Chain A
Amino acid sequence: MIEQLTAQQRKLAYLIGMVVLMLPIIVLGMPATDEEGSGGKLARLRQEHDLGESTLGKVDPTSATMNLVLLGMRGVAVNLLRMQLDTQRDQKQWAQMRATTESVILLQPHYIQVWRYLGWNLAYNVSAEWDAVEDRYFWVKEGAKFFMQGAERNRLDPEVYWDTGNTLGKKIGRSDEWKQFRRFFKEDPDKDRYDGGPDSEINPDRKDNYLAAKDWFKKANDAEEKHEQHIMMDALFRSYPARSQLDYADALQREGQFDETTRKAWEDAYRDWVEDFGYMRFKTTDYPIFMEAPASESAMEQIIAASGKDRASIEREIDFYQNVCNYRFWRTKAHAEKQLNTTRMHSDLFEGEDLFKKGDIDAAQEVLETGLQRFKTMLETYVELGSDDITLEEGLWGIMLWQKIYQLKNQVQPEEFPLKGLWEKELNRVPNLQHDFNRKYGSS
């Protein structure tokens, strides 16, 4: 029959065929617009299951093009790049390695483990290869920026947000070089480029590193509402914003800042820990619980009713989660630290040591004695802190300084002194601590 048609008729028939075939393609594959529910069936399914490139995060046109051009060779290309990356790492070609890292990520923009591995590599491994602190900080920043980029491209995934917070918080605030890193976070060492301020890419709001980290941990928690994370237990993961606030307050103390800012920081930390994190619901096997539940009789009754378990089982379970997060300790610690007496105690012990180092031992003795007395008051109020290593060592260190002053004065120390009970109770800790003390200030 087709043979009987003229050339023009055949062309017309083909055209009609094409239009007919086009219809299901349009129905199925029409791309989505900004409006919800727009697009073809496939586009709607992508939206529904968060599978679309744009729903996953910011689309990088270069990346999309690269993957399209490579077709099925993407795996081979990635393998070659990873081998190149290893060679560049071995041969310490850091700038080239950074460029290769970008190329790998172009090909694997939604592979979370790649972001996590390469970001860690920059922030931790490459930075440790450099000798100058400024250079190390540069590579920590590179790692943090890399994580931020990863979070932007994978906004549904909570893990890269968490990594960003972890790098800004722990890497900057807990490294051997934490003093310099924390300062650089607010005043970048590249003064020409950042005009004496921070690198705006990682610290646009000129915040403390722990407060910046807190923002990223909050984003991680928001993302975790919808998508599961596989880094750690849920209760621990969700505690990080509050933990960052605790770290912030602690860092201010470590730096010798004992003013209202620090006390306020502890106050905020207590609120974050107890009021935010303490009331956050966690799913256990089949019912939600929260850390502060035992404090509320009605809450406990609701949980018991929902779970169908007895009170003892529920309490055991909550106790387990509290232990995992060291919840009760941090609650007590934050509560203690927000008290004026505690702030002044830290201030006295810090100032006492400072005066001691300057040689003003009379003034040091007086300030230390006041501090030790305040320490005793704090311990009496917050007995739980009597088992905290850092707290105890701070007290014992204060006593050693106080004893040293008596030695320097060739005087016999009084039989009774404010923390005598603590000293006698913790005598087993003294030798190690005394060793560190003697290294710093000389033995008697």
Chain B
Amino acid sequence: MNFDAKPFLLFSNFDNGLLHWLRVFGGFAGVIFAATVLISLGIYGVSGPVAVMGRVRQGLHDFLNLSPKRIWAIAWLTIIEAVRRKALLVFVVFAFLMMFAGWFLDSDLRADLQVKNAVSFALTTVSWLTIPVLLLLSCWGIPEDIRVRSLHTVVTKPVRRNEIVMGRILGFSTVAAGIVAMMGVVGYVWVLRQVPNNASLICRVPVYGTLEFLDNEGNISEKGINTGDIWEFRSYIEGGTKASAVYKFPIDTPADQIKLESRFEAFRTHKGRIGQSLLVRYVLVNPTKELRVPLDSFEIQEFNLNEQFIDRKISFYDEGNKDKRTVDLFDDIVDQNSLTIAVQCLDSGQYLGMSRPDFFIRLPDRSFAVGYFKAVFGIFLLTVFVISIGVTSSTFVKGPIATLLTFSVLLIGQGFREFMIKLITGVQKGGGPIESWYRLVTHMNDTLELPDNIGVKIMQGIDNVMLGGLWLMQHLIPDLSSFVMSPYVANGFDVPWSVAMLRSLAVTIGYLVPCLLVGYYSLTLRELEAK
């Protein structure tokens, strides 16, 4: 498990969440409106902006007078159409995969790894089967209606264009909900039957804190030591020194006992005692009272979760008073609803690596079904997002183009955003597309300087324009990684509300609203006779 669970803060500041969305959405809408008014003024004179305002008024009227009955009628037609187009055949493929998947999953692995594989497989299968089917259906629905002219019979009825778009999205989403729910349940039963008897399906509820480091001298440091790992996810503290990793956990409800779990990594500079892992110690700290309570040391189990329990009443040897003392966890140690724990490595010359999500307070577990079905809901939300983009794009382009567009948004949102950001920020060496091509053809390494001439300047100028387009894309296409919740469940964790669920829900709704607007105006303004 390497996910860094940073919470999604909806209202924390102006740059986050809802307010950011309002700013972007309002900005785009304003720019489009202003451009439309100006263009219409240039082409038609004063009557142009009047007509634009008329369309806006009509739009407002249409959105304020939505008829749920009509929307549901369109949705129902969409469901029937999806069934007629044999969308439900996807269940046959699903059944086939579930029947034989067990043959290809390694049953010799450790029990927890088998659980991980089984859960990942079930959830990945559900999403990989559902999303392509719904993507194709949503992208081809309206263009096909236009082609066979069945949309003409609908628009001549008292149905508003936004109701058509909403009905389509609702209909496909209902189909998606049915498919995902059915597959989710079957997948759940399959996982229960697939996992070995000695494996447990768990759903941990972690409370993560913040992390800061103290260096060898005991001074505050942003990071620990890098022991040479390419991956800088973890930072290391040196054993047998004042170095420690200080975690601060939010804690508000007193309990008789709290459970801590950690997943630290060891790095040895000498063999040490073979057969004995590194010794780690937790020190509970109250900075206000300057109280430090060392707990018993323990050997770490690397790449595994080490469980420790802290009782409310803790007895320890107070080195200051040279006496044994008992303190109360919540009365004496928790300070302003925050529990501070310093992690130390006791082996001299050895290093202990950690990152923020490596250490957490474990609340009572939830049922595995809770986490699993949250992940299934995440797949459903992603499908709704895809449907929204698919239906909207199908209102202004034909089926193949809409499919390509939606697929690209999905692909970039899930896997290529990081690469795109690296390109835009210049972290990725090799320049833009023209420069890369030039370097490929001339066998020029990306670390070599380009010659300083006019040709190169033109090339980089064109690249900059293209990268500007990419910058816009990067802001338009959302990060869809939060929708993929299976890693949480596969690693035995609950899907956190603020980190994954809220973020995914917000992205889905955040894109649904502009999609409805774009879809409505595209369908209103387009020529339905066009083939």
Output the residue of A62, A94, A131, A180 with the most chain B CB within 10 A.
A131
User: How far does the alpha carbon of A90 sit from the alpha carbon of B228 in the complex, in Å?
Assistant: 11
Q: Which residues 1-17 in B have Cβ within 8 Å of A in the complex?
A: 2
- A133 and B275 contact, CB distance less than 8 A: yes
A177 contacts the other chain (CB 8 A): yes
A93 contacts the other chain (CB 8 A): yes
Q: Which residue of A lies closest to B111 (CB)?
A: A193
The one of B109, B113, B271 in contact with A176, judged by C-beta atoms closer than 8 angstroms, is B271
- B268 and A131 contact, CB distance less than 8 A: yes
- B275 and A99 contact, CB distance less than 8 A: no
| Given known A-B contacts A131-B268, A135-B302, A92 and B274 have beta carbons under 8 A apart | no
User: How far does the alpha carbon of A91 sit from the alpha carbon of B231 in the complex, in Å?
Assistant: 6
- Give every chain A residue within 8 A of B135 (Cβ-Cβ): none
| Given known A-B contacts A131-B268, A131-B278, A93 and B116 have beta carbons under 8 A apart | no
- Give every chain A residue within 8 A of B233 (Cβ-Cβ): 91
User: How far does the alpha carbon of A132 sit from the alpha carbon of B301 in the complex, in Å?
Assistant: 7
| Given known A-B contacts A92-B231, A131-B268, A131-B300, A180 and B274 have beta carbons under 8 A apart | yes
- B302 and A130 contact, CB distance less than 8 A: yes
| Given known A-B contacts A130-B303, A131-B278, A180-B275, A90 and B230 have beta carbons under 8 A apart | yes
- Give every chain A residue within 8 A of B302 (Cβ-Cβ): 130-132, 135
A95 contacts the other chain (CB 8 A): yes
| Given known A-B contacts A99-B106, A131-B266, A176-B274, A92 and B303 have beta carbons under 8 A apart | yes
User: How far does the alpha carbon of A94 sit from the alpha carbon of B274 in the complex, in Å?
Assistant: 22
- B231 and A90 contact, CB distance less than 8 A: yes
- A94 and B271 contact, CB distance less than 8 A: no
Q: Which residue of A lies closest to B112 (CB)?
A: A95
Chain B facing A: main interface SS: loop
Chain A facing B: main interface SS: helix
- B277 and A131 contact, CB distance less than 8 A: yes
User: How far does the alpha carbon of A430 sit from the alpha carbon of B301 in the complex, in Å?
Assistant: 41
- Give every chain A residue within 8 A of B301 (Cβ-Cβ): 132
Q: How many residues of B contact A (CB 8 A)?
A: 25
User: How far does the alpha carbon of A179 sit from the alpha carbon of B268 in the complex, in Å?
Assistant: 20
B215 contacts the other chain (CB 8 A): no
B117 contacts the other chain (CB 8 A): yes
Q: Render A114-139 as a binary contact track against B, CB cut-off 8 A, 1 for contact.
A: 00000000000000001111010000
B96 contacts the other chain (CB 8 A): no
Q: Render B343-373 as a binary contact track against A, CB cut-off 8 A, 1 for contact.
A: 0000000000000000000000000000000
- Give every chain A residue within 8 A of B113 (Cβ-Cβ): 95
- B104 and A93 contact, CB distance less than 8 A: no
Q: Which residue of A lies closest to B266 (CB)?
A: A131
User: How far does the alpha carbon of A92 sit from the alpha carbon of B271 in the complex, in Å?
Assistant: 21
- Give every chain A residue within 8 A of B104 (Cβ-Cβ): 62
Q: Render B93-104 as a binary contact track against A, CB cut-off 8 A, 1 for contact.
A: 000000000001
CB distance from B112 to the nearest CB of A (A): 9
- B277 and A132 contact, CB distance less than 8 A: yes
- B275 and A94 contact, CB distance less than 8 A: no
User: How far does the alpha carbon of A192 sit from the alpha carbon of B197 in the complex, in Å?
Assistant: 13
Q: Render A63-103 as a binary contact track against B, CB cut-off 8 A, 1 for contact.
A: 00000000000000000000000000011111100110010
Q: Render B293-337 as a binary contact track against A, CB cut-off 8 A, 1 for contact.
A: 000000011110000000000000000000000000000000000
Q: Render B180-203 as a binary contact track against A, CB cut-off 8 A, 1 for contact.
A: 000000000000000000100000
Q: Which residues 368-387 in B have Cβ within 8 Å of A in the complex?
A: none
User: How far does the alpha carbon of A132 sit from the alpha carbon of B304 in the complex, in Å?
Assistant: 11
- B271 and A95 contact, CB distance less than 8 A: no
| Given known A-B contacts A62-B104, A130-B303, A132-B301, A95 and B109 have beta carbons under 8 A apart | yes
User: How far does the alpha carbon of A94 sit from the alpha carbon of B2 in the complex, in Å?
Assistant: 12
- Give every chain B residue within 8 A of A93 (Cβ-Cβ): 2
- A91 and B2 contact, CB distance less than 8 A: yes
User: How far does the alpha carbon of A94 sit from the alpha carbon of B233 in the complex, in Å?
Assistant: 16
User: How far does the alpha carbon of A91 sit from the alpha carbon of B4 in the complex, in Å?
Assistant: 13
Q: Render B190-229 as a binary contact track against A, CB cut-off 8 A, 1 for contact.
A: 0000000010000000000000000000000000000001
B265 contacts the other chain (CB 8 A): yes
Output the residue of B108, B109, B265, B274 with the most chain A CB within 10 A.
B274
- Give every chain A residue within 8 A of B266 (Cβ-Cβ): 131
Q: Render A190-213 as a binary contact track against B, CB cut-off 8 A, 1 for contact.
A: 001000000001000000000000
- Give every chain B residue within 8 A of A102 (Cβ-Cβ): 106
Q: Which residue of B lies closest to A135 (CB)?
A: B302
Q: Which residue of B lies closest to A180 (CB)?
A: B275
CB distance from A413 to the nearest CB of B (A): 34
User: How far does the alpha carbon of A179 sit from the alpha carbon of B273 in the complex, in Å?
Assistant: 13
- Give every chain A residue within 8 A of B108 (Cβ-Cβ): 201
Query: 27 pairs across A/B with beta carbons < 8 Å?
Result: A62-B104, A90-B229, A90-B230, A91-B2, A91-B231, A94-B303, A95-B109, A95-B116, A95-B117, A98-B109, A99-B106, A102-B106, A130-B302, A130-B303, A131-B268, A131-B277, A131-B300, A131-B302, A132-B302, A135-B302, A135-B303, A176-B271, A176-B274, A177-B274, A177-B275, A179-B274, A201-B108
Question: Which 9 pairs from chain A and chain B are nearest by CB?
Answer: A131-B266, A131-B302, A95-B113, A90-B231, A90-B230, A131-B277, A91-B231, A133-B275, A177-B274
Extra contacts besides A92-B231, A95-B113 (11): CB < 8 Å: A62-B104, A90-B229, A92-B303, A94-B303, A95-B116, A99-B106, A102-B106, A131-B278, A133-B275, A177-B275, A192-B198
